[in-house]
Structure 1
Amino acid sequence: MSESAKRSQAYTAAGVDIEAGNRFVSRIKDMVKSTFTPGVATDIGGFGGLFKPEISGMEAPMLVAGADGVGTKLKLAFMFDRHDTVGIDLVAMSVNDVLVQGAKPLFFLDYFATGKLESGVAEQVVSGVCEGCRQSDCALLGGETAEMPGFYPDGEYDLSGFAVGMVDTPKLVTGKSVSEGDVLIGLASSGAHSNGWSLIRKLYSESGLKADDTFPGTDKTVAEVLIEPTKLYVRPVLEVMENVEIKGMVHVTGGGFYDNIPRILPEGVAARIEFGTWPMLPIFDWLQAQGGLSWPEMLQIFNCGIGYILILDADSADKAMDLLDSMDGVEAYRIGEIVDGANAGERCEVIFP
């Protein structure tokens, strides 16, 4: 037994394996380094992560920060024993948020807490975090792995994440200039992302479907459809920003269309959404039918196939659509317009056929 192991015997007997934690950090080092960008000025294992941002050419750099988790979608990861995608969810929920202000994500920090550290599971989770960081061109700068005996049920863990981005203040996207006649462009979601999972789990448990069954309307298994990770919008949105002016942006998360779109609208205007201007993913058709929900109820809870929204003037919208249509893996749709608030029943009004 090593001297280090001898010194930590009492803690190990209490349920915290310091040696296992150290081995875990050693095993993920190369994985984490694969996310490093030129601004990273530190190595793994320090008390704090160092990052030196590139600010040349910026008039007034501003930092934008966001924090989020994966929520009860984790329960399905435990149920299906599938842990390599929830890390992508974790990164996406925060970096998509800071992107709304026009910020380019710089770095990400993660927090992984469990009752007993299972290195194989934890590595799968971190692999997803690293993949999310690579897809959004931000560095996994640091984080925390906490082993907390008796705090979590066996085989379970919790995740939270924190993203920091930067934008030049004159290019900050606030929504203040949104005006009547502007166009809403919706970017397709990959599924239910990381919202509404308490209801999804309830409906799934009542459905009789099994993880390996084919999900209705698809050629994928139930587990594959339900665990599909949140889509990252960083690269396509930043490319659009380089070419046209975006007046406002929305990350469609908890609260769906009705709660999220009004958050960036100035007084006096409303958003009018034309339902049916984008294809509905099978998971939402199934949820609507399984739960006996109306589509207004669905749009209050889920993204219903649109995970991110851009608001632009009509000319800029044409250019943005051309650009988005040329990108691999990006599906974009004109889903509505901005109208006079006095002529709308709600700040977000959905028109059904």
Structure 2
Amino acid sequence: MSTPSQTSLSYRDAGVDIDAGDALVEAIKPFAKRTMREGVLGGLGGFGAMFEIGKKYKEPVLVSGTDGVGTKLKLAFMLNKHDTVGIDLVAMSVNDILVQGAEPLFFLDYFACGKLDVPSATDVVKGVAKGCEQAGCALIGGETAEMPGMYPDGEYDLAGFAVGAVEKSKIIDGTRIKPGDVVLGLASSGIHSNGYSLVRKIIEVAKPDLNADFHGRKLADVLMEPTRIYVKPLLALMAKMEVKGMVHITGGGLVENIPRVLQDNLTAVLNKDAWTLPPLFQWLQQHGNVADSEMHRVFNCGIGMTVIVAKENADAAMADLQAAGETVMRIGEIREREQGQAQTVVI
């Protein structure tokens, strides 16, 4: 028969520090406050976050997305760099719902760890708030879970949830895409948040000095560059002209993501000479001896978002996006699909 403990046990004895959780909430409140926008009802701390859809929509359709940061977090732990992965977290979801024409309205985050380290957790959530500011959406809630024994010391996991709205008549689903339409490519900021298991394997094999100079910056900083958020420039473009399709280039690269917006009778023919493979991807390919086909399936290869517009609108779309600070390239066109042809062809 077991003997009752003579010591009065607490949650802290079990590895959960309630005071640290409270300290984190207080630390992040100012950053969350900067993301507030019209529609938010209440603030952080309630059991549920409330958001009122404005009257600008006649037939509002809600569009939601969820994602994480993947094994890029392992690199963040190794480098003890936590201030940018929150931007990645927001980007992965808001860029996804954007491609259906939705304006991101609000965001919630989930932060799970074994033992809560308030400074690093604060850095993470500050990044989340920064990403929300870039996307124009409100950080209106989230969850911090301290679970002793679930994660190694110094490690955590992240998940994010974005909700946006689009007028029903303005949903972008690719059904208006036709042969002759132009595929524009918007430059990525780097690797974004996909393919990091391969990146880490290449680092393991190549054993580079991550603090060494790489085209004017530390290699570590280039590897950790956060995912670009394309929301504001593309919402502005949609307000000016018809955008027939958009594709967020995530896992699967160009070749597996573009077909997601194409009808079965269409294919996207991309010209690989239309853009230069950025130095970081050249480095990864060289040091990992990665085949071209594998590069195209795993990485964005320098194109983080594609936009499909009518041929007659292509020049104006490029000019608008460039004026908004994007690097834009005309990377291909839509054609009738031939028998047995893939839906994305890189030539």
TM-score class, shorter: over 0.9
Aligned partner of 2:269 in structure 1 is 272
Decide whether the 8 Å contact of 1:59 with 1:170 is kept in 2. Answer: no
For structure 2, which runs of at least 5 residues remain unmatched after alignment? Answer: 1-7
Aligned partner of 1:82 in structure 2 is 81
Please tell me whether residue 131 in structure 1 is matched to residue 130 in structure 2.
yes
Give distance in 1, aligned partners of 2:340 and 2:304.
Answer: 23
Aligned partner of 1:32 in structure 2 is 32
Query: Deviations along 1:272-329, whole A, 9 cap, x unmatched?
Result: 000021132111001111111222221111000000000111012121012112223x
Please tell me whether residue 327 in structure 1 is matched to residue 314 in structure 2.
no
| Percent of aligned pairs sharing the same letter | 52
How far residue 344 of structure 1 moved from its aligned partner, in angstroms, is: 7.3
Q: 1:302 aligns with which of 291, 299, 303?
A: 299
Give distance in 1, aligned partners of 2:92 and 2:271.
Answer: 26
Aligned amino acid, residue 118 of structure 1: D
Aligned amino acid, residue 199 of structure 2: I
Please tell me whether residue 224 in structure 1 is matched to residue 221 in structure 2.
yes
Give distance in 2, aligned partners of 1:47 and 1:309.
Answer: 38
Aligned partner of 2:184 in structure 1 is 185
Aligned amino acid, residue 222 of structure 1: L
Q: 2:279 aligns with which of 279, 282, 295?
A: 282
Aligned partner of 2:253 in structure 1 is 256
- 1:154-193 maps to which residues of 2 (within 5 A)? 154-193=153-192
How far residue 81 of structure 1 moved from its aligned partner, in angstroms, is: 0.4
Give distance in 1, aligned partners of 2:38 and 2:310.
Answer: 35
Query: Deviations along 1:116-143, whole A, 9 cap, x unmatched?
Result: 0000000000010000000000000100
Q: For structure 1, which segment, 16-25 or 126-135, has the greater mean C-alpha deviation from structure 2 after superposition?
A: 16-25
How far residue 343 of structure 1 moved from its aligned partner, in angstroms, is: 6.6
Report the TM-score, using the length of structure 1 for normalisation.
0.94
Give distance in 1, aligned partners of 2:346 and 2:335.
Answer: 12
Give distance in 2, aligned partners of 1:23 and 1:324.
Answer: 41
Give distance in 2, aligned partners of 1:212 and 1:292.
Answer: 22
- Report the aligned-residue RMSD: 1.2
SS at 2:269 equivalent: strand
Aligned partner of 1:5 in structure 2 is none
Decide whether the 8 Å contact of 1:55 with 1:61 is kept in 2. Answer: no
SS at 1:249 equivalent: strand
- Runs of 4+ in structure 1 deviating by more than 4 angstroms, as ranges, are none
Give distance in 2, aligned partners of 1:43 and 1:233.
Answer: 26
Aligned amino acid, residue 346 of structure 1: A
For structure 1, which runs of at least 5 residues remain unmatched after alignment? Answer: 1-7
Give distance in 1, aligned partners of 2:224 and 2:324.
Answer: 25
Aligned amino acid, residue 128 of structure 1: G
Give distance in 2, aligned partners of 1:274 and 1:234.
Answer: 26
Aligned amino acid, residue 317 of structure 1: A
Query: Deviations along 1:213-268, whole A, 9 cap, x unmatched?
Result: 123xx111111011000000001110110111011110000011111000110121
Aligned partner of 2:337 in structure 1 is 341
Query: Deviations along 1:67-86, whole A, 9 cap, x unmatched?
Result: 00000000010000000000
Decide whether the 8 Å contact of 1:244 with 1:319 is kept in 2. Answer: no
Aligned partner of 2:244 in structure 1 is 247
Give distance in 2, aligned partners of 1:176 and 1:42.
Answer: 39
SS at 1:231 equivalent: coil
Report the TM-score, using the length of structure 2 for normalisation.
0.96
Aligned amino acid, residue 282 of structure 1: P
Give distance in 2, aligned partners of 1:291 and 1:26.
Answer: 44
Aligned partner of 1:3 in structure 2 is none
How far residue 87 of structure 1 moved from its aligned partner, in angstroms, is: 0.1
Aligned partner of 2:5 in structure 1 is none
Aligned amino acid, residue 340 of structure 1: E
Aligned partner of 2:235 in structure 1 is 238
Give distance in 2, aligned partners of 1:196 and 1:208.
Answer: 18
Aligned amino acid, residue 334 of structure 1: R
Aligned amino acid, residue 18 of structure 1: I
Aligned amino acid, residue 159 of structure 1: L
